[in-house]
Chain A
Amino acid sequence: MPKKTRESRETTASAAKSTPTAAPDSSASLRRKPRSKAPTGHPTKKKFSLINIWIAGACLKILLFTAYYSTDFDVHRNWLAITHNLPLKDWYLEHTSQWTLDYPPFFAYFEWALSQFVPQIVKDDGCLSIVEVGNFSVPTVYFQRSTVIVSEILLFLSLQWYIKSSELKEKQKSFVVASSIVLSPGFLMIDHIHFQYNGLLFGLLICSIVSAKNQKFLQCGFFFAVSLCFKHIFLYLAPAFFIFLLRSCLNIENTKNLKGLKKRKCSNLELLFKLINWKRLFGLAIIVISVFTVSFGPFVYYGVTNNLFRRLFPFSRGLTHAYWAPNIWAIYSFIDRLLIQLCLNVPIAPKILNKLGFAESTTSAQSIKSLMLNSSSTKGLVQDIEFVILPNVPPSLTFFLTIFYQFFSFIPLFIKPTFNRFIGCLTLCGYSSFLFGWHVHEKAVLLIIIPYSFLVIKDKRLLLTFDLLIFAGYVSLFPLLIKSNEWVIKVLYTYVWLLIFYKSFDEICSSSSSLMTRRVFYLDRLILMYIIGFIPLVLICSFLDIFAIKIPIIKKLEFLRLMAYSVYCSVGIVSSWCALNWLYFLDESLWN
């Protein structure tokens, strides 16, 4: 009898564990109702510390020391050598290796600082020699890999700060966001296998986001200026910061004050003067200008500015990268390829296309063949891709489209600059630059995912679009790691990350009251199907990869695999962008 009761109690207890009264222990968990922690009155002081995640992550990352690294590794090694051996003024002039220094000055300073810590054994290994192609072995790899792990601490600190600065009842959510970012497969694949310092760079960006959340505008400006001087890719996000900080210098929300001023019949000029928070404006200006002076000043002094900017903004590259980043241009190129095949194989297709307004000279089979012979574009392995049937895209168009879509997201932000709107605008800026930008890397998808992570906890409606984004965004990074050795790691790590955070975000996102009415049932199912579609995509592409050497036909289709990845992922990212736009512009309640 006692046995039986014990068993039954156990089952009830385990069944009731999700309710707050039965299991005080689990109040520390990612439960559905984090609020119920307070009423029970137990001393459940969960620290929400990221330190354990850091240790576990560092262990895994140290094991990856021996993994594949891309040419970026030699790039950074070369920068170490340049900054260590040459005087400041020659940093942006040196061109012995093809991997010239093309990051802004703060990053160069950072490399210089790192080069001070290079131990003798690594120096002897050839880490600090300026040569055309790096000649190094294990010690250099270990050293540089460990600098990535150490510099990533900034990312952890910034996110710990984010957790610390959030309200008590929000801490649970903040912790999930923070852990999702620090564990992100993007950082694992790009930083710790492919080799870059994104952890450090995004740490700075997150610092500025957290300052914006805390309404510390000067701090925000400072951190963003610094991160801009570390990597100029953040220029894509700069407009949002600019508008947000500019708006913070206006006193409009103090409408009473405004009305009072009007009543007193001040002159327009005086009104304008009162409208602007001059102290903050000047403070911001001074901070930003001084940051840029410290960073670019020495190079201006030495008169190498021209060189520096030519290095930072190389417009000679093509529209898309060798592997198309999953954006609009991937779909555009895909349609072009499709039309080529149609014109070549379906006799009636050129006529239809002519009717639709394409010139005959581009659609006839002969001209296509001659064009394809001229440009090796169909192989896709060259930097420049020319379109055969569809019109070519000039850089100015991509620039215009990016600015155009960014501009629209500024308007609501300018009218009502809440933190939510700011992050929404930041995310949309990331989206439009990623989707329409010139020569976008697939790695830039982090520019969307990271800001979006801060946003998604606000409302469950955002979750669906976020899911689309993370699945498409992270899977699109797979072709970055070409060796077979890391296949298990990249696929399983991404899989388990998506599993954990798909589940966790689903549990902690606040559901809005109007959720039931607004949810589109079929859309949910469609998204789920799209997500499940990644499994056959990855598996089939990997199998084709294995047999590529054995069967020559597959070898020829190498580009097809990459195209499948980028087109499938771009569909997800574009539709998540559309959905976010919808919510951003039409759902007022979400953002206040």
Chain B
Amino acid sequence: MDFHQRQQERLSSKSVFYNSPCYEFLSPFRPVQNQWVIKYIITIFAILIRSAVSLGGYSGHANPPFFGDFEAQRHWLDLTINLPISKWYYYKLGYWGLDYPPLTAYHSYFFGFIGKFIRPGWFQLDNTNGIENDDLKNFMRLTVLISDVLIYFSAVYFFTFCFFKSNKKITTNGSQGWKKFNSLNQSITIVLILFQPCLILIDHGHFQYNSVMLGLVLFSIVSLLYDQLSIASFFFILAISFKQMALYYSPVIFFYILSLCFNPFQKRFDFPRLFAVAFSVILTLVVMFAPLVIFNNNFKDGLLNIKQALIRIFPFERGLFEDKVANFWCVTNILVKYRTLFDLSTLKTLSLGFTLLSILPSCLVIYFHPRKNLIPIAFASCSWGFYFFSFQVHEKSILLPLMPTTLLLSNVNDDEIFKMVCWVNNIGLFSLYPLLKKDELVLQYFVIGFLMNWLIGNLNINCVVNNFKNLFKVKENSIKNWSINFVIISSTVLALILHGMEVFLNPPSRYPDLWVVLNISFSFACFSTFWFWLNIRMFQIRNN
């Protein structure tokens, strides 16, 4: 092998991450005997960043009488350990009644049990509403951290391992493409997914347990990659029974499994498999809901309990959207006042119709091409559709489409995907700004946003300058590349300008919410652009 050949090979094995600080930090541990150190470093720094963020404020801090999500979760820990199961879904509906599926309740029970063991004073039903102190905060933060590490972290590790293995085999275009799927790039991908800023800020800053649900969904994706359909559906049902929002993904996983078991177009009729999946779904659901019936006076009360739980879980009586969210309904609501024009049932039908339409492409693609490397992109497309059009969406729901979108980064061969996904992650973070500002997490917002972009090399001076230069070289680039570049640069600049305006200017007194409205409209525009790109991309790669 002569020098040039080797040089060539080296260049081809360079991924988009080359020259990024993240690469620089991890490459010293590249030799095989040191690979295990990398895993430790990534995991521990991911935990460190999370616990550093968790030192900051949380939702509803010192804000009586209702406080916020922190108090909601504490209240659930409180009520699950102090009340029998039969009363969980009936207690104090006006305050922070339990309105998540049973697995959340069991999860709360588990941590509440530990918490009560450590400090009984934290959980004294009714007497401890809105209790706030450092140790309690730390305990609650730790419960999130532990659930996050155990479920989400391990799922991410499994996913990248599995995805890289399968991709190494199937990458045939370009003689050296497989080289990019080396273990160092695998580690960097893990960094990218674990350091996703929105999830860190919402779970460990704002305070929620989204990572548990997302981790379970990720486990289900991993099982799909391993062709274990029953296990996949088991995990998926667990995810749904943790947080009903996991239903955003359900059409895709349904059509994927259906296509593998029953597909007349490709002459696949695997009914035993379909039956196994159905059995696993039903069994998991029964196990999840059974305690609601068993620990009850009689069977009839048990059924009523389940009915009450379902009413609490699917609150169709609430509005079309909550607060200000960057989806279709909220943004167009600025011009068209839906709530005055239509009544609730019309709105429900309307949103159902739009949602079905929006998820159609991903469902069709995954049904006709049930290929493993399409799974993340189909999940993403489908959940974006839900985010835009479904009923009762709030700003934190952005985490759902962002999770599979971030998974796309594990396709290290593709610069375009890398750019677009980084961009949409940034815009997603931007759309959370009003919420985080309310929670006194502005410092954390900027630091985490900067850190993530810097770590993967987006802020590399040469890279930024090059992008700007390309903006003026219309002829040399293809139209597609140029327009992607243009969209990314212009929107990033615009987002920064919006931040600047918010700091230096007061909104006009007539429109006190002007900055928030601008924020969500802008984010919606970017999101929908991304969604169109994503769908086109999905059609393009459906066959290779």
Q: Say if the beta carbon of B340 comes within 8 Å of chain A.
A: no
Say yes or no for B29: interface residue by CB 8 A criterion: yes
Does B55 contact A25, Cβ atoms closer than 8 Å? no
A60 within 8 A of B: yes
By a CB distance below 8 angstroms, the chain B residues around A17 are 30-32
Map CB proximity to A onto B326-339 as digits: 1 under 8 Å, 0 otherwise: 00000000000000
Contact assessment for B138 and A549 in the assembled complex, using a CB-CB cutoff below 8 Å:
no
B residues less than 8 Å from A26 (CB atoms):
27, 30-31
Closest residue of chain B to A507 (Cβ to Cβ) is B34
* CB contact list, A496-532 vs B, under 8 A: 496, 499-500, 503-504
Note all chain A residues with C-beta closer than 8 A to B120. 550
Dominant secondary structure at the A interface: helix
Which B165-192 residues have a C-beta within 8 angstroms of A?
168-169, 178-179, 182-183
Is A67 part of the contact surface with B, judged by Cβ < 8 Å? yes
Supplied contacts A10-B178, A488-B48, 15 more A-B pairs, CB within 8 Å: A3-B169, A7-B168, A14-B183, A25-B27, A29-B27, A56-B451, A59-B454, A63-B52, A483-B134, A484-B138, A485-B134, A496-B40, A496-B48, A499-B37, A500-B37
B455 within 8 A of A: yes
Residues 252-265 of chain A: 1 if any B CB is under 8 Å from the residue's CB, otherwise 0?
A: 00000000000000
Which chain A residues lie closer than 8 Å to B13 at the CB level?
25
Cβ of A6 < 8 Å from any Cβ of B? yes
A sample of 10 inter-chain contacts (CB < 8 A) reads A3-B169, A14-B182, A26-B30, A29-B31, A55-B21, A63-B52, A67-B55, A488-B48, A488-B51, A496-B40
B56 CB within 8 Å of chain A: yes
Number of interface residues of B (CB under 8 A): 51
Interface residues of A in 30-79 (CB under 8 A from B): 30-31, 52, 55-56, 59-60, 62-67
Closest to A547 in B: B118
A17–B35 alpha-carbon span in the complex (Å): 11
Docked-complex contact A63 and B447, CB < 8 angstroms: yes
A495 sits at the interface (CB 8 A): yes
Bound: A549/B120 CA distance, A: 11
Residues of B contacting A586 with CB < 8 Å?
none
Q: A503-B37, A549-B119 are in contact. Are A63 and B49 (CB under 8 A)?
A: yes
Q: Do A63 and B53 touch across chains, with their CB atoms under 8 A apart? A: yes
Report how far A547 CA is from B145 CA in the complex, Å.
Answer: 21
User: B447: which A residues are within 8 A, CB to CB?
Assistant: 59, 62-63
Smallest CB–CB gap between B61 and chain A, Å? 12
Which of B44, B448, B450 interacts with A492 by CB under 8 Å?
B44
Contact residues of B between 119 and 173, Cβ < 8 Å to A: 119-120, 134-135, 137-138, 141-142, 145, 168-169
Number of A-B pairs whose CB atoms are under 8 Å? 118
- CB <8 Å contact, B30 and A60: no
**Interface 0/1 of B1-27, CB less than 8 Å to A:** 000001000100100000001001101
Chain A contacts for B31, CB-based, 8 A: 17-18, 26, 29, 31
Q: Check B55 against A63 for contact (C-beta < 8 Å).
A: yes
**Is A564's beta carbon under 8 Å from chain B?**
no
Q: In the assembly, what is the distance between CA of A425 and CA of B48, in Å?
A: 37
Considering the chains assembled together, what is the distance between the CA atoms of A415 and B51 in angstroms?
Answer: 52
Are B30's CB and A23's CB within 8 A? yes
Whether A550 pairs with B118 at a CB distance below 8 angstroms is: yes
Closest 5 CB pairs of A and B: A63-B52, A18-B31, A496-B44, A29-B28, A488-B51
Q: Is residue A557 contacting chain B, with contact meaning CB distance below 8 A?
A: no
Alpha-carbon separation in the docked complex, A500 to B44 (Å): 11
Chain A residues with Cβ below 8 Å from B294 are none
Which of B21, B30, B32, B44 is close to A15, meaning CB atoms less than 8 Å apart?
B32
Within 8 A of A (CB), among B31-86: 31-34, 37, 40-41, 44-45, 47-49, 51-53, 55-56
Q: Mark A220-235, 1 if CB is under 8 A from B, else 0.
A: 0000000000000000
Distance between B503 CB and nearest chain A CB, rounded to angstroms: 14
A390 vs chain B, min Cβ distance (A): 38
Most buried by B among A52, A63, A142, A504: A63
Are B52 and A64 within 8 A (Cβ)?
Answer: yes
B444 at the A interface (CB under 8 A): yes
Residues of A within 8 A of B142 (CB): 488
* B443 within 8 Å of A (CB atoms): yes
Across the interface, do A500 and B454 meet the contact criterion of CB distance under 8 Å? no
Interface residues of B in 434-460 (CB under 8 A from A): 443-444, 447-448, 450-451, 454-455
Contact A485 B138 (CB under 8 A): yes
Q: Is A24 within 8 A of B145, CB to CB? A: no
User: How distant is B30 from chain A, measured CB to nearest CB, in Å?
Assistant: 5
- Residues of A within 8 Å of B178, CB to CB, are 6, 10
- Of A3, A487, A489, A546, the residue contacting B48 (CB under 8 A) is A489
Given known A-B contacts A492-B48, A546-B118, A550-B119, A62 and B32 have beta carbons under 8 A apart: no
Q: CB within 8 A of B145: which of A66, A488, A500, A546?
A: A488
Question: In the docked arrangement, what's the CA distance between A504 and B183, Å?
Answer: 20
- Interface residue? A493 (CB, 8 A): yes
A581–B51 CA distance with the chains assembled, in angstroms: 41
Complex CA–CA separation, A23 to B31 (angstroms): 9
A24 to B5, CA, bound (A): 12
Closest chain B residue, CB of each to CB of A499: B40
> Shortest distance in angstroms between B215's beta carbon and chain A's nearest beta carbon?
19
Q: A28 contacts the other chain (Cβ, under 8 Å)?
A: yes
Q: In whole Å, how far is A60's beta carbon from the nearest beta carbon of chain B?
A: 6
Min CB distance A38 to B, Å, is 15
Among candidates B6, B25, B28, B55, residue contacting A24 with C-beta atoms closer than 8 Å: B6
> Which residue of chain A is the closest to B170 with respect to CB atoms?
A3
- Residues 472-488 of chain A, each 1 if its beta carbon lies under 8 Å from chain B, else 0: 00000000000111111
CA A504 to CA B31, docked complex, whole Å: 12
Q: Which residues of B contact A23 (CB under 8 A)?
A: 30
Which residues of chain B have C-beta atoms less than 8 A from A546's C-beta?
118
Bound-complex Cα distance A585 to B120 (A):
59
Q: Is the CB of A25 within 8 A of B443?
A: no
Whether B30 pairs with A52 at a CB distance below 8 angstroms is: no
For residues 310 through 327 of chain B, which have their beta carbon under 8 Å from a beta carbon of chain A? none
User: Beyond A493-B48, A503-B37, is A485–B55 a contact (Cβ under 8 Å)?
Assistant: yes
| B29: A residues at CB distance < 8 A | 29-30, 503
Give the docked Cα–Cα distance between A51 and B208 (Å).
Answer: 35
Alpha-carbon separation in the docked complex, A550 to B455 (Å): 44
State the Cβ distance, A3 to closest chain B Cβ, in Å: 7
Chain A contacts of B44 at CB under 8 A? 492-493, 495-496
Is A56 touching B21 in the complex (CB atoms < 8 A)?
Answer: yes
- Residues 539-568 of A, flagged 1 when their CB comes within 8 A of B and 0 if not, give 000000011011000000000000000000
The answer to whether A496 touches B41 (Cβ under 8 A) is yes
> In the complex the two chains form, what is the Cα distance from A60 to B118 in whole Å?
30
Tell me the nearest residue of chain B to A66, going by C-beta: B55
Residues of A within 8 A of B51 (CB): 488-489, 492
Hey, which chain A residues are within 8 Å of B118, CB to CB?
546-547, 550
Residues in A neighbouring B10, C-beta threshold 8 A = 24-25
Interchain CA distance A52-B179 in the complex, whole Å: 27
Q: Which residues of B contact A66 (CB under 8 A)?
A: 55-56, 443
Residue from the list A52, A60, A483, A484 in contact with B25, Cβ < 8 A: A52
Whether B443 lies near A62 (C-beta < 8 A) is yes
Q: Residue on B with the closest CB to A496?
A: B44
Chain A residues positioned under 8 Å from B45 (CB to CB): 496
Interface residues of A in 351-394 (CB under 8 A from B): none
A62 to B447, CA, bound (A): 7
B28 touches A30 (CB 8 A): yes
**A489 engages B52 (CB within 8 Å):** yes
Report the separation of the CA atoms of residues A85 and B364 in the bound assembly, to the nearest whole angstrom: 74
**What is the bound-complex CA distance between A17 and B10, given in angstroms?**
13
Q: Which of B448-489 contact A (CB under 8 A)?
A: 448, 450-451, 454-455
Q: What sequence of 0s and 1s flags, for each residue 415-435 of chain B, a beta carbon within 8 Å of any chain A beta carbon? A: 000000000000000000000
